[in-house]
Copies of this chain bind each other. A is one copy, B any other.
Amino acid sequence: MDIISIEDLSREFILKICKRASQIDEAEQRKERYNLRTKHPRKLATLFFEPSTRTQQSFKAAITELGGLHEGFSGTDTTSVSKKESIRDTIKMFEAFHFDAIVMRHKKDGSVQWAADVAKVPVINGGDGENEHPTQALLDLYTIYKQNKGSLDNVHIGLGGDLAHGRTVHSLSLALSKFKETTIYWSTEYELGMPEYLIKKLQSLGTKVIRKPSVAEVMKHVSVYYMTRPQLERMQGLLVDKIPALIEKYRIDMKKIEDLNGVILHPLPVNSELAEIEPDVFFSKKQGFYGQAENGVFVRKALLYTLLDETPHTSFDPHLSENLHTGNNRLQRNPGNHKTNMVVDTIDNGLVIDHLKKGKELFVADALQLVHKGYDRVLASISTKKTAFLKTNLPDISEREIRQVCLISPEPTISIIRDGKVIDKYVPLVCDNPNCITRDVFEDIPAKFYDDHGSICCRYCKHPYTIRSHKVSRDDQERYIKTLPEH
């Protein structure tokens, strides 16, 4: 089992983790600690491609207190894990070194799902880009569970800080919507409110979302107020001189929490310069975030215990499983539809890449290194047509080359010609989330999509994909979607 996204985890699993965390928590109060039952110490690989202190140290504390070991890296400057080694190879290396589980953080969305696909041992997402950070969500849930007397039903929570950009708030609110009678309060007094699409989604899941005129008003209705960091780097619309006033409005101070009958949570670290939480509040009994940090250890211990206790030691398998090899991103088109026009006739064997953006055909030819490798290239940009095409006697095109072509000009049509006939014709799709790991050509990750109620979503970053090319008919699309697995 892998832990990639909080949304993948069932209500039952979340409650099981909360219950186990609670047992571990109580044991700690009795000065007891659980140990993983196993013949040899279990080893956790901590692969932090992006530096981290809190998440990393919390995992290290967890595995260590369970009697296990850990190794890994934090940041890639002092290691040889550079841009030149693929995630796939890094994962296989750590498997070869007999790690029993992996926790990974990486700046690209979907990277950890790919690592989990490669690995035979459990992989836990320690944060993939702006995408997911499920153990943060789990520790938040456990903190609320504890505050809410051992339940996640009937939670009344306030959300604060940067509701527009923060991943934490997004994940947490969706996770709470798995439970009964959730009510989310937030204040409209500043610009960084909850996005409309998220409110709608939460409501569709049965969660009440209630706006209040001020933070102080929100406090009156909740037992937990979850504050988040301002994501200044993402507030591009804002004028710099408006920031102090904005921070002033949403900063948590003693006055705002006067009527709170509960605790303030925060994923930490608090930005000590902006001080989105006033220093005075740190001394209040309503400060709940230091305890929340400790809960992170209990939750991670509960997770590792669930994944590793009494499970057999996994022998290293030096082979890659076949299902990593191919994607499902080829939208087939009917070769029969193709008019064998004069231009194609001039090659008997090779390929045609059509529906390229005008002006991009030369870049595509260069990316394929046709001249260097000694193949023909015919580039055509016909004034009466909207797109350009490339024709070559290059016998085949690799997956990596297809990805390169798509990044230069999305949704090309590729036709394979043998003995003058089109024997295959398809449109390859590449996820269009610019931060998706599958767009890194050198990682060689076969693009995979799934069908989420009729919309095409990337297996890795989960972003929906919309087909743009007018050449792909509604029928073609529907036929393609039918080939995709459901999520």
Q: Is the CB of A369 within 8 A of B53?
A: no
Contact of A84 among B39, B60, B273, B444 (CB under 8 A): B273
Q: Mark A72-102, 1 if CB is under 8 A from B, else 0.
A: 0111011111011110111011101110000
Residues in B whose Cβ lies below 8 Å from that of A400: 275, 279
Please tell me which stretch of A185-193, A280-288, A381-389 contacts chain B, meaning at least 4 of its Cβ atoms lie within 8 angstroms of it.
Answer: A280-288
Q: Is A269 interfacial (CB 8 A cutoff)?
A: yes
Given the interface contacts A85-B272, A400-B275, does A97 sit within 8 Å of B57 by beta carbon? yes
Q: Is A237 interfacial (CB 8 A cutoff)?
A: no
Please tell me which stretch of A155-163, A309-317, A414-422 contacts chain B, meaning at least 4 of its Cβ atoms lie within 8 angstroms of it.
Answer: A309-317
Q: Is the CB of B269 within 8 A of A97?
A: no
Inter-chain CA distance A97–B294, complex, in Å, is 6
Contact of A98 among B40, B65, B288, B369 (CB under 8 A): B65
Contact of A96 among B89, B93, B290 (CB under 8 A): B290
Q: Is the CB of B84 within 8 A of A271?
A: yes
Inter-chain CA distance A68–B52, complex, in Å, is 24
Q: Which of A410-449 touch B at CB < 8 Å? A: 442-444
Please tell me which stretch of A241-249, A346-354, A475-483 contacts chain B, meaning at least 4 of its Cβ atoms lie within 8 angstroms of it.
Answer: A241-249
Q: Which of A261-313 touch B at CB < 8 Å? A: 268-273, 275, 278-280, 282-283, 285, 287-288, 290-291, 293-294, 296-297, 312-313
**In the complex, residue of chain B having the shortest beta-carbon distance to the beta carbon of A98:** B61
Closest chain-B Cβ to A43's Cβ sits at a distance in Å of 7
Q: Is A198 interfacial (CB 8 A cutoff)?
A: no
Inter-chain CA distance A282–B326, complex, in Å, is 13
Given the interface contacts A272-B85, A279-B400, A319-B287, does A43 sit within 8 Å of B57 by beta carbon? no
Contact of A283 among B33, B65, B325 (CB under 8 A): B325
Given the interface contacts A28-B315, A287-B319, A369-B244, does A443 sit within 8 Å of B272 by beta carbon? yes
Contact of A71 among B64, B84, B245, B283 (CB under 8 A): B64
Residues in B whose Cβ lies below 8 Å from that of A52: 79-80
Inter-chain CA distance A83–B274, complex, in Å, is 12
Closest chain-B Cβ to A389's Cβ sits at a distance in Å of 24
**In the complex, residue of chain B having the shortest beta-carbon distance to the beta carbon of A374:** B245
Q: Is the CB of B31 within 8 A of A57?
A: no
Q: Is A58 interfacial (CB 8 A cutoff)?
A: yes
Q: Is A51 interfacial (CB 8 A cutoff)?
A: yes
Q: Is the CB of B273 within 8 A of A57?
A: no
> CB within 8 Å of B: which residues of A?
28-29, 31, 33, 39-41, 43, 51-54, 57-58, 60-61, 64-65, 69, 71, 73-75, 77-81, 83-86, 88-90, 92-94, 96-98, 241, 244-245, 248, 268-273, 275, 278-280, 282-283, 285, 287-288, 290-291, 293-294, 296-297, 312-313, 315-316, 318-320, 322, 324-325, 369, 372-373, 398-400, 442-444
